[in-house]
Structure 1
Amino acid sequence: MVRLIVIFLIIAIVAAIFGFGGIAEGSADIAKIIFYIFIVLLVISLISRLIKR
């Protein structure tokens, strides 16, 4: 998941440099969504590990 975040972030940066505002904004939004999903899954994983111990 982190790889996808980095890929979309790089796409957003490159698109912003070349002036494609819509593409940059869309890629940045997708990267943010994937990042939030990653954080939620990380928290769930940490909580489940604490419960199993």
Structure 2
Amino acid sequence: MLKWALIFLVISVITGFLGFSGISAATAGIAKILFYLALIIFLIFLILALFAGSAVV
């Protein structure tokens, strides 16, 4: 998921450089959503791993 966020970020930078501001803003928004979604999933798995680790001990 972070890979796709990075791809959309690169597309956003390139289209912004070429002057396509509408496409640039849209792809930047998609990249931001994917990044935050990946961050939330990471935190959920981190919390689950901490609880599972303490349950084993």
Which of the five TM-score ranges fits, normalised by the shorter chain?
Answer: over 0.9
Paired with 2:48 and 2:27, the residues of 1 have a C-alpha distance of 32
1:44 paired to 2:44: yes
Task: Work out the CA distance in 1 between the residues paired with 2:47 and 2:31.
Answer: 24
Match of 1:20 in 2: 20
**Paired position in structure 2 for 1:2:** 2
TM-score scaled by length of structure 1: 0.97
Q: Does 1:34 align with 2:19?
A: no
User: Please, which runs of 5 or more residues in structure 1 have no aligned partner?
Assistant: none
Identity score, percent: 38
* RMSD over equivalenced CA pairs, Å: 0.4
How many residues are paired up?
A: 53
TM value normalised by structure 2: 0.91
In structure 2, list runs of 5 or more residues that go unmatched.
Answer: none
